[in-house]
Chain A
Amino acid sequence: MIEHSTVELTRADFASDQMVKWCPGCGDHSILASILGVFPKIGYKKENFCMVSGIGCSSRFPYYVNTYGFHSIHGRAAAIATGIKISNPNLSVWINSGDGDAMAIGGNHFIHLIRRNMDVNYILFNNQIYGLTKGQYSPTTKQGQITKTSPFGVIDYPFNPGELVIGSRGTFFARAVDNQPKTLVEVCEHMAAHDGTSVVEVLQNCVIFNNGTHAEVTDKEVREERQLWLKHGEPMIFGKNRDKGIVLNGTKLEVVTIGENGITEKDILVHDETTENTGIHMMLAQMRPPHFPMAFGVIRAYKQPTYKQLFEHQMEDAQKDAKIKCVDDLLNSGDTWIVE
């Protein structure tokens, strides 16, 4: 169990004395502000939070939060966080990583962290570009985009982080937007409460090297038509007039208008984030304009024994009826003999 604070904490308890060096207007600022708001709400002792990051703009995050923190090497945050969590299961471990850090150089660690259902919270800052190295395409950059290393347009097919998480047996995946802090805070609280690997993809804007990359879904003017905010147990309704919804037609999702063609609210698909079946979750993660809205909020939150639970259970079992209780026992076990 992670020990709670006996006193009420505020965001000031987590503010660091370091100068924040992200570019003015960077989406990272609002993600930081959200996290500083979320930690006091979660309520653990300050010393029990541990932030881990790799390399990239987003990976500077640990310096700006006054907790224990580890700014490591490119792509390896997941592996380092794994060692921290196995070593001390009573810590609340948070990973900050970008699209390149998590899914290019760190891709292997990312999928295996998720596969194991390690108990960590993973904030994936997706700005679809390498920012710190000044504008090369990343594994999530759109096909065709001109960047410094793709002067003729990107020919790689991009990863969709949600597909990767769910495909790696992820138990928790959510999506949020940097400039909608209220919903970001809600999603982060939800992820902290989930046992297992919780990944939130934050659509984050890089003002310098990829400005407006998410604009088609995040701009104020289009938001309501292009964002579907999921709530467990509620129908998947969106749109300025709350008249559009998602239905399952055969094996595919489809956008319908309530009140047209005999469609009523009852026909709209109701979100079940807890189901083991990944089918609808995967389809929700894949939705994107122009034919669909993009799904936000918690897409999947399936309960399954975590690495910590399984690991600690084995440890306890082994220690319960152990014949070898200390190293002296071990050294003297098996075939031994005395030389006089």
Chain B
Amino acid sequence: MKKVWIILIFIILFIFLNKLLAPKYMDYLKEGNMTYEYYQEKTNHDVIFIGDCEVYANISPLTMYEQYGITSYVRGNSQQLIWQSYYLLKETLNYETPAIVVLNVNALRYDKKVSEAYNRLMIDKMKWSQEKIDLIKASMLEEENFLSYVFPILRYHDRFDKLKLEDFKYLFKEKSNTYNGFLVNKKVKPVKNLPTKRKLANYSFSDNVYNYLDKIRKLCAENNIKLVLMKAPSLYPYWYLEYENQVKEYAEKYKLDYYNFIDVSDTIGIDYQKDTYDGGLHLNLNGAIKLSNYFGNILKNKYHLKDYRSDKKVNSIYEEKLKKFKKEVE
């Protein structure tokens, strides 16, 4: 019996150390907590946005709710690649079935696994499921190993001398840093010098990318979800005409709606002297509100989404969220 107690104590200590040493992503690298924040949602959503930083920096679901009564959530991550979007969407469907899934197409140009750091930001705080296992397997770089995702201590043990106050403060509790997946950035950095266009050897999306795009399309079709493609506005000249044509071709072939907001930046009212936090790559809070107003209008009118502002239960939850949101943005 004594042995059982000893083993139990060490298992508890092991779990505690795993928790203590893993990054909390609360005050630093807030992007790392985005995947987890979704699980705290109390209502379903009619629209789910998936994609990279272009969704979580540019789309404000609470603005869409306030203006049009649309319930939506951004399941975005830094450098979310297409296969990661697929598994994250698949995981989302374990919790709810939205009417619309909006996929930001920026990541279609990437075929290679990028970095362990991005994988960690996305996967570390994801709940365990078959989708998480598949996502890890699809995302891991050669130098990574699966076990370190199961036991974070194997990856983060060297943080023993880098522990910060947040590691203790948020050991057993979490806080939300986003508003339905939207990460507020109020900074203003006007556009000055834009990088020059780079000539690429190959502009074609890879077979692997198309394979996962097909998987997302089929998954949506199987679940009666309308798949919509979007390209967030950006002044950086990295969305080449060749990319645009391939997306258009794909959308036409499968009768998908595609919205490229780069072309309608002026109509949206984006002022790149005021509405960007990094000189034209991403929008800041002001820009995101403008884009969300514009896109929300399209979603509301074209897809006839329900206005939840008249739904007492949902509205009370969103009123709470809006109160917090407004407090931060004002």
A and B bind: no
**Hey, which bits of chain A sit against chain B, CB under 8 A?**
none
